[in-house]
Amino acid sequence: MIMRLLSRLGLGGKSKPTVVPAARFGVSNEGVSGGAMQVIERLQGKGYVAFIVGGAVRDLLLGFKPKDFDIATNATPEQIKPLFRRAFIIGRRFRLVHVLAGAETIEVSTFRAAQDSNDSHADEHGRILSDNVFGSQGDDAARRDFTVNALYYDPVAEEIWDYLGSLKDIKARQLRLIGDPETRYREDPVRMLRAVRLSSKLGLAISTKSRTPIKRLAPLLSNVPPSRLFDEMLKLLLSGHAVATLSTLRREGLHHGLLPLLDMILEQPQGQKFIELALADTDERVREGKPVSPSFLFATLLWHDVNQAWEAGKKAGERPIPALHAAMDAVLERQAEQLSIPKRFVGVMKEIWTLQPRFEQRSGQRPFRLLETERFRAAYDFLALRSRSGETPLELAQWWLAFQNAEGDMRTDLLRQDEHVPDATKRRRRPRKRRTGEQAGAPAPESAGPAPE
């Protein structure tokens, strides 16, 4: 009780850290962002302790460039906020401070302790439902997930503080859960996904003890709130190592229920090729520092479900477009129960899908109108993936590539060369509504119509 009280006040550490000069591990301030440096100097200048913590320290030690910098301090959010011009207290469950420094957002959190999974803060599987108790720095280290994520770097003193033998694991390139693995996975099943993601991304081996329980405990992921799973899944898919990570997830039995039928998709030869191609493209883009669209990615991951349901609908006699809409809605609804994709992404996914049948129309004004739609580029990239995976003829994607790149009359020529022009297409278009402002920029209709007969 007294210990708990002391530790809440930040006075009683559970253990003493080993403090080593950062230079011994090849870490210097060169890799530290200007914003992180400023925040630490300001906090320390006011008499608080402040360290870079977590993923950034780990990445510096392993020779990767940190994505962002998190800071841990003994100052409370109320003490931190007034020290910075642009700082916001965020988070309901655990309050922390976002400090804006130029284009950077630095997350500053107060040392906190783990909640006990035996008390009322956990559900019946041991999943921790709240963790909002301040603690000592030692407590803060112990509540983290892996030893390599629990290191503190003081860039002013240029020292690394190690409470848990983390540096040994860094040297051994090993990912080891802090504490008893089963308890820690039960407290937060997302740690199983993190184990796989971080090991693939960083090239670390998951220690045997941390790895063994994963297969058995994988079903616990179904108790995790769908929005939390989405965040983790997105991190995983955008890590630049999605292909490797998903194949490990599959090996560990962790893909079940993440994206419904992802398991089934991965087992279908064609579906697998499609997804692997999509993920490999994404990995390449991420590694080249190019932007990646989460909507596009989730559209690819769910496409085979949608496509299958669509085909079934058409076979049952539904008209193609209503059948496609029904298929999309059914798949998305099922999806939302497990891993909920935010609405803003779902809207774009639907646009990408609904544009697919329109690529089959290569006569009259339709190709021009398709070219002018806002999502044309994403929809075309999607079509190209379908072609490369063997789902649609390669020729179709090639035609659209040529059509996009052709100039002026050349486009019309492409239309004329197309032998699959259904005669009715031109006339059916006539009674349509007026073209919208956005579409008004399309090439002049007169010059682009199909051949007269």
Show Cβ contacts of residue 247 under 8 Å, excluding neighbours closer than 6 positions.
none
Residues 359, 292: Cα–Cα separation, whole Å: 23
Which pairing describes strands 50-53 and 151-154: parallel, antiparallel, or unpaired? antiparallel
Distances (CA, A) of 83 to 43, 73, 111, 149, 334: 8, 13, 18, 27, 47
Least spacing, CB of residue 70 vs ligand ATP, in Å: 6
Least spacing, CB of residue 237 vs Mg ion, in Å: 16
Least spacing, CB of residue 204 vs ligand ATP, in Å: 12
Stretch that binds ligand ATP, among 43-51, 189-197, 330-338, 353-361 (CB under 6 A): 189-197
**Residue among 55, 181, 313, 364 that touches ligand ATP (CB under 6 A):** 55
Q: Does 138 bind Mg ion (CB under 5 A)?
A: no
279's tokens = 């993920």
Site for ligand ATP in 134-153 (CB under 6 A): 144-145, 149-150
Closest to ligand ATP by CB, 101 or 164: 164
Q: Does 188 bind ligand ATP (CB under 6 A)?
A: yes
Q: Does 67 bind ligand ATP (CB under 6 A)?
A: yes
Residue with tokens 């179904």: 222
Closest to ligand ATP by CB, 202 or 327: 202
Residues 176, 211: Cα–Cα separation, whole Å: 9
235 contact choice in ligand ATP, Mg ion, none (CB below 5 to 8 Å, kind-dependent)? ligand ATP
Residues 291, 378: Cα–Cα separation, whole Å: 13
Q: State the catalytic residue, choosing from 59, 70, 162, 188.
A: 70
Residue type, 324: L
Closest to ligand ATP by CB, 55 or 155: 55
Closest to Mg ion by CB, 60 or 383: 60
Residues 87, 212: Cα–Cα separation, whole Å: 42
Closest to ligand ATP by CB, 176 or 194: 194
Query: Would you call 68 a catalytic residue per the annotation?
Result: yes
Residues 306, 357: Cα–Cα separation, whole Å: 13
Closest to Mg ion by CB, 218 or 236: 236
Q: 319-331: buried (b, 16+ CB within 10 Å) or exposed (e) per residue?
A: eeeebbbebbebb
Q: Count the site residues for Mg ion by CB under 5 A.
A: 1
**Residue among 106, 190, 192, 370 that touches ligand ATP (CB under 6 A):** 190
Query: Would you call 169 a catalytic residue per the annotation?
Result: no
Closest to ligand ATP by CB, 193 or 379: 193
Q: State the catalytic residue, choosing from 59, 139, 145, 281.
A: 145
Residue type, 361: Q
**Residue among 191, 211, 304, 362 that touches ligand ATP (CB under 6 A):** 191
* Cβ–Cβ < 8 Å for 211, 241: no
Nearest by Cα to 361 from 321, 307, 323: 321
Q: C-alpha 356: how far from its chain's center?
A: 25
Residues 73, 76: Cα–Cα separation, whole Å: 8
Rg of the chain in Å (alpha carbons): 27
188 contact choice in Mg ion, ligand ATP, none (CB below 5 to 8 Å, kind-dependent)? ligand ATP
Angle at 116 between CA 115 and CA 118, to 5 degrees: 145
DSSP string, 137-184: HHHHHHTSSBGGG-EEEETTTTEEEESSSHHHHHHHTEE-BSS-HHHH
Largest CA distance in the chain: 92
Least spacing, CB of residue 112 vs ligand ATP, in Å: 10
**Residue among 55, 271, 313, 367 that touches Mg ion (CB under 5 A):** 55
Query: Would you call 145 a catalytic residue per the annotation?
Result: yes
Please give the residue whose beta carbon sits closest to Mg ion in the complex: 55
Q: Does 186 bind ligand ATP (CB under 6 A)?
A: no
Helix and strand counts by DSSP (H, E) for the chain: 21, 12
Query: What is the H or E stretch that residue 52 is in?
Result: strand 50-53
Least spacing, CB of residue 234 vs ligand ATP, in Å: 11
Least spacing, CB of residue 49 vs ligand ATP, in Å: 17
Closest to Mg ion by CB, 56 or 246: 56
Q: Does 367 bind Mg ion (CB under 5 A)?
A: no
Least spacing, CB of residue 269 vs ligand ATP, in Å: 32
Least spacing, CB of residue 81 vs Mg ion, in Å: 22
* Cβ–Cβ < 8 Å for 198, 205: no
Report the catalytic residues: 68, 70, 145
Binding site for Mg ion (CB under 5 A): 55
Binding site for ligand ATP (CB under 6 A): 54-55, 67, 70, 144-145, 149-150, 188, 190-191, 194, 235
